[in-house]
């Protein structure tokens, strides 16, 4: 699944092509994605794009009447193409622009979404989200307080969007390894110094991934079609059974919350 860095890379990629353009029409070939595409999206005509932002893993295209919300789901990607580009089997939505280009959503598994949020309202999917990890309101004190109330594994709390948004499976694995914290540790055992270290590492890891173009996944490519590059530097994710780069111990792979979790028994000791 595209994670926060991949979504941010997509935002950075599409923004120059959408800003100062008008949406002429939205062409929908498959209305049934994760949720049905609402009528408001189908009716969009002659709307100037004011801005393109991101909230968690949701892209928001700001228009005078509200926001077009796009989620990439498990396998979605966005590309900017000429309007005469032939659509493929999984090219479900085209947003036609006044520039003569279009923004195309391709989604093989159809777990993505194209939704609508009226001006001065908040869509239910966005209403209860926690702080953005790269903004100042995600602090060590915030993480420490959130963890103090939980006995579940620290990795699961770190991936809870009500605690902090956008720290998905790949980056949770990576950040916990770099912080020297075992993913299975009960969250309420997290100390404030550990919270300070983990918060800083989450910010560094995500920022680095964005700078390098996002993590390469088999279903993900940047808006210009190029793959990301950060996967070449992953330290633990996807490496279960291999040797730790730091200490040469065999990395262990388990399941937490039905997600693959990899850690080093030596570098991430039990408390």
- Which DSSP state fits 266? T
In tens, the pLDDT along 54-91 reads 999 999 999 999 999 999 998 888 999 999 999 999 99
Determine which one of 2, 5, 133, 183 is catalytic.
Answer: 2
φ, ψ of residue 80 in degrees (nearest 5) = -100, 125
Annotated binding site for DNA: 90, 109, 150
pTM of the entire structure?
0.88
Contact 143, 164 (CB under 8 A): yes
Q: Domains along the chain?
A: 4-118 (3.20.190.10), 140-263 (1.10.8.50)
Element (H, E) at 196: helix 192-211
Tell me what the mean pLDDT of segment 22-41 comes to. 95
Please name every residue paired with 70 in a beta bridge, in sequence order, or none if there are none.
Answer: 59, 114
Please give the mean pLDDT across all residues of the chain.
91
Determine which one of 40, 132, 259, 265 is catalytic.
Answer: 259
Q: 25 vs 13, 103, 122, 144, CA distance in Å? A: 21, 11, 24, 47
- Told to judge if 226 belongs to the known catalytic residues of this protein, a careful annotator would answer no
- Told to judge if 259 belongs to the known catalytic residues of this protein, a careful annotator would answer yes
Cα distance between residue 76 and residue 120, in whole Å: 28
Cα distance between residue 135 and residue 60, in whole Å: 18
pLDDT at 264: 98
Please name every residue paired with 29 in a beta bridge, in sequence order, or none if there are none.
Answer: none
pLDDT at 30: 94
Determine which one of 3, 8, 67, 174 is catalytic.
Answer: 3
Contact 56, 11 (CB under 8 A): no
Helix (H, G, I), strand (E, B) or coil at 233: helix
pLDDT at 219: 45
Annotated binding site: 90, 109, 150
In tens, the pLDDT along 200-247 reads 999 999 998 888 776 544 444 566 666 555 555 789 999 999 999 999
Determine which one of 54, 57, 104, 155 is catalytic.
Answer: 57
What are all long-range contacts of 217-221, with beta carbons under 8 Å and residues at least 24 apart? 217/1, 217/2, 217/6, 219/74, 219/75, 219/77, 219/108, 220/2, 220/6, 220/75, 220/77, 221/77
In residues, how long is the chain? 271
Strand segments, DSSP code E, in the chain are 22-28, 47-48, 51-55, 58-63, 66-71, 76-82, 91-97, 101-107, 113-118, 252-256, 259-263
- Told to judge if 3 belongs to the known catalytic residues of this protein, a careful annotator would answer yes
- Told to judge if 203 belongs to the known catalytic residues of this protein, a careful annotator would answer no
């Amino acid at each position: 699944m595209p994670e926060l860095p991949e979504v941010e890379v997509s935002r950075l990629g599409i923004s120059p092509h959408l800003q100062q353009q008008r949406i002429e029409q939205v062409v929908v070939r498959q209305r049934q994605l994760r949720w049905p595409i609402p009528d408001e999206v189908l009716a969009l005509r002659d709307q100037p794009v004011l801005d393109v932002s991101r909230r968690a893993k949701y892209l928001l295209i700001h228009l005078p009447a509200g926001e077009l919300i796009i989620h990439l789901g498990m396998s979605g990607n966005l590309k900017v193409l000429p309007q005469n580009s032939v659509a493929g089997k999984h090219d479900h939505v085209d947003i036609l622009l006044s520039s003569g280009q279009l923004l195309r959503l391709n989604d093989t598994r159809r777990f993505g979404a194209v939704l609508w949020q009226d001006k001065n309202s908040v869509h239910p999917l966005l209403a209860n989200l926690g702080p953005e990890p790269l903004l100042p309101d995600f602090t060590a004190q915030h993480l420490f307080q959130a963890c103090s109330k939980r006995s579940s594994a620290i990795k699961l709390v770190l991936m809870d969007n009500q605690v902090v948004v956008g720290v998905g499976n790949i980056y949770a694995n990576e950040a916990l390894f770099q912080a020297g914290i075992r993913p299975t540790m009960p969250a309420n055992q997290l100390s404030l110094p550990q919270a300070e270290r983990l918060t800083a590492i989450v910010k560094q890891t995500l920022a680095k991934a964005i700078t390098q173009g996002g993590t390469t996944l088999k279903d993900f490519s940047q808006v210009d079609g190029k793959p990301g590059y950060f996967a070449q530097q992953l330290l633990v994710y996807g490496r279960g059974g291999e040797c730790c780069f730091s200490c040469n111990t065999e990395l262990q792979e388990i399941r937490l919350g039905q997600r693959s979790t990899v850690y080093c028994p030596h570098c991430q000791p039990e408390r």
